[in-house]
Amino acid sequence: MSVVAEKADLSLKYTAHYNEVKEGLLEDSADILNAPRNQAFRDFVSQGIPTRKFENYKYTNLQPAFIPEYSFMHRREPVEVDLNNAFRCDVPQLDTHLAYIFNGWFYDRGSQVGNLPEGVILESIEKIAHEKPELLAKYATLAKTGDDPLVALNTAFAKDGYFLYVPKNTVLEKPIQLINFLQAEKDAFVTQRNFIYVEEGANVQVISCDHTLNLNTYLNNSVTEIFVGPNASFEFYTLQNQHNSTTNLNSVFISQSRDSKATTHYATLHGGLIRNNLKYILDGENAEANLFGMAFIDRKQHVDNFTQVVHAKPHCQSNQFYKNVLDDEATGAFAGRIHVVRDAQKTNAFQRNNNLLLTDKATMQTKPQLIIDADDVKCSHGATVGQIDEEALFYLRARGIEESKARLMMMNAFAYEVVQRINIEPLRNRINELVDKRLKGEVARCHDCAYNCDC
């Protein structure tokens, strides 16, 4: 079959599927989730599945990921595994409010949420949409369906995901941990829609971990909308650890009010094709945004970090720091856009992207961008692709450290710059350990995976 025919078929396939399941999607969902569905699907059709011809997807072709015959997880299905046995959290000493999300559905049995402070809600978005739709008043206002086909497709299919609400001036001592599992009988297309609302003066840390529990092919398309209120503090850690035939497409949108602080941290340890869309809107004065990311990938894995930071108000600050280590035939991409709108004066925006290529077959593509329409700003970006600094290496060797060790030290230091920004200590230690193992070649490939696959 020709490529052109395939492409047309692909769009038709999804259109046919939508028409087929539309009734079911609308049937048992709340109005608030149903309202944008049809328009969202039209937006998806008009944009199509992204190819390299889309400027925003220049370095990631998603067409092949949409080709397999997936079964769609539009309904909550009974969970057959005992999650507590099938999965051990691989971060020891981490004491959290734990909840599971299973194939995109919030799983309320067996979770270890524990005692949440008064007023904090950690629930299924489906339930909230039915019972307290007023909390979802801002649903789909950040994730615009006209801007991105994946967001459009997610909005059209959205049924469930997690919902987190932290009331005014509430400080959570323990982080909230959300574990996203993929396990289906057949290859599966999973849609997950999340919503986080952090009220004024509140303080919360969220850890989101992605895992696969068997070897089927998965496509996971998730969208998370996050609102951070005035003077609130929010930290979001994402650990990606899925097998090689997973496509993980996730879009996170964060809107910050004045004096708030938000930090995102992506650690990509394993995965097939990963696309992290991340958009910050600094919508209040004196807000601070921190974006960190690191990826250690090999084989034919692909990681694409796509960030946008919109400085909509004056006196805001943003820092971006992304590091990638690419081995074998891995391909990496980074695109970061800082947009300072007119009159957003006194903006400080910084961005750095450093990449290490370990083989000649690994490739890295980076696209840092600045769009600046105000004059009293300090903005800079820097990007490097290369290897370890030979002079530093020489320095170490001159002090009697053998080359392989020196190289490892340097690589560790390279990664540590990002790792050290993790504020949850057990998590930082664990990631540091994993990175260390990974760099030593004792690859923690699907570490602790019970399936011993050769992926």
Partner 1 sequence: MTDQDKILAEVTQSDYKYGFFTDIETEIIEKGLNEDVIRTIWEKKNEPDFMLDFRLDAYRKWQKMKMPNWAYLKVPPFDFQSISYYAAPKKKPKYQSLDEVDPELLETFKKLGIPLDEQKHLAGVAVDAVIDSVSVKTTFKEVLAEKGIIFCSFSEALQEHPELVRKYIGQSVPVADNFFAALNSAVFSDGSFCYIPKGVRCPMELSTYFRINAANTGQFERTLIVADDDSYVSYLEGCTAPMRDENQLHAAVVEIIALDRAEVKYSTVQNWYPGDKNGKGGVYNFVTKRGICRGESSKISWTQVETGSAITWKYPSCILLGDNSIGEFNSVAVTNNHQQADTGSKMIHIGKNTKSTIVSKGISAGKSDNSYRGLVKVMPGASNSRNFSQCDSLLLNDTCGAHTFPYIEVGNKSSIVEHEATTSKIGEDQIFYCNQRGIDTEKAIGMIVNGYAKEVLNKLPMEFAVEAQKLLQISLEGSVG
Closest to 266 in 3D by CA, of 301, 233, 240, 304? 240
Between 228 and 439, name the residue whose CB sits nearer to partner 1.
Answer: 439
Minimum Å gap between C-beta 19 and partner 1 is 32
The verdict on 170 binding partner 1 (CB under 8 A) reads no
DSSP string, 274-296: EEEEEEEEE-STT-EEEEEEEEE
> In 3-state terms, what secondary structure has residue 172?
coil
Q: Which amino acid is at 230?
A: P
Q: Report how far residue 424's alpha carbon sits from residue 437's, in angstroms, rounded to the nearest whole number.
A: 20
When the beta carbons of 48 and 133 are compared against partner 1, the nearer one is 48
Bridge partners of 303, per DSSP, are: 274, 332
Q: Residues in contact with partner 1, total (CB under 8 A)?
A: 36
- Give the nearest distance from C-beta 393 to partner 1 in angstroms: 14
Please, what is the minimum distance in Å from the beta carbon of residue 389 to partner 1?
A: 10
Options 363, 412, 429, 432; binder of partner 1; rule CB under 8 A: 363
The answer to whether residue 52 forms part of the interface with partner 1 (CB under 8 A) is: no
423 binds partner 1 (CB under 8 A): no
Of 203 and 319, the one with the shorter C-beta distance to partner 1 is 319
CB 97 within 8 A of CB 206: no
Least Å from the CB of residue 388 to partner 1: 10
Nearer to partner 1, 86 or 379 (CB): 379
3-state secondary structure of 418: helix
If you ran DSSP here, which 8-state letter would residue 144 be given?
A: -
Q: How far is 341 from 142, CA to CA, in rounded Å?
A: 17
360 binds partner 1 (CB under 8 A): yes
| Closer CB to partner 1, 371 or 392, in the complex | 371
Interacting residue with partner 1 among 359, 425, 440, 448 (CB under 8 A)? 359
Two tokens, residue 119: 């007023």
- Helix (H) or strand (E) holding 340, with range, is strand 331-340
Give yes or no for residue 34 binding partner 1 (CB under 8 A): no
Q: Which is nearer to partner 1, 23 or 55 (CB)?
A: 55
Q: Which residues contact 3 (CB under 8 A, 6 or more apart)?
A: none
Q: Given the rule CB under 8 A, which of 19-27, 124-132, 360-368, 430-438 is the region that contacts partner 1?
A: 360-368
Helix, strand, or coil here: 351? strand
Based on the shown chain and the rule CB under 8 A, indicate whether residue 454 belongs to the binding site for partner 1: no
362 binds partner 1 per the rule CB under 8 A: yes
Within 386-415, which residues bind partner 1 (CB under 8 A)? 386-387
- Shortest Cβ 369–partner 1 spacing (Å): 5
Sign, CA torsion 175/250/220/147: positive
Single residue of 355, 414, 438, 446 touching partner 1 by CB under 8 A:
355
Query: Could you tell me the two tokens for 419?
Result: 């790792």
- Sole residue written with tokens 């109005």: 31
Q: Least distance from C-beta 377 to partner 1, angstroms?
A: 6
Are the CB atoms for 269 and 323 separated by under 8 Å?
A: no
Least Cα distance to 334 among 388, 288, 382 occurs for: 382
SS3 155: helix
- For 186, residues 6+ apart whose C-beta sits below 8 A from its C-beta are 70, 71, 216
Q: Is the CB of 225 or the CB of 327 nearer to partner 1?
A: 327
In the complex, minimum distance from the CB of residue 296 to partner 1, in angstroms, rounded to a whole number? 15
Write down the least CB distance from residue 402 to partner 1, Å.
Answer: 21
Residue 455 burial class via C-beta count within 10 angstroms: exposed 0-12, middle 13-18, buried 19 and up: middle
Question: Out of 300, 342, 405, 440, which residue is the one contacting partner 1 (CB under 8 A)?
Answer: 342
Least distance (Å) from partner 1 to the CB of residue 331?
Answer: 9
Helix (H) or strand (E) holding 323: strand 317-326
Examine residue 55 and tell whether it contacts partner 1 (CB under 8 A): yes
Rank residues 21 and 388 by Cβ distance to partner 1 and give the closer one: 388
Tell me: does residue 357 bind partner 1 (CB under 8 A): yes
Per-residue contact string for residues 367-386; x = within reach of partner 1 by CB under 8 A: xxxxxxxxxxxxxxxxxxxx
Q: Which stretch binds partner 1 (CB under 8 A): 60-68, 177-185, 220-228, 356-364?
A: 356-364
Rounded CA separation 41/188 (Å): 20
Between strands 176-182 and 188-198, the pairing is: unpaired
The span from the CA of 49 to the CA of 148, in Å, is 10
Q: How near is the Cβ of 435 to partner 1 at its closest, in Å? A: 19
* CA–CA separation, 425 and 444 (whole Å): 20
Which residue, 228 or 377, is less far from partner 1 as judged by CB?
377
Rule CB under 8 A: which residues touch partner 1?
Answer: 55, 342-343, 345, 355, 357-387
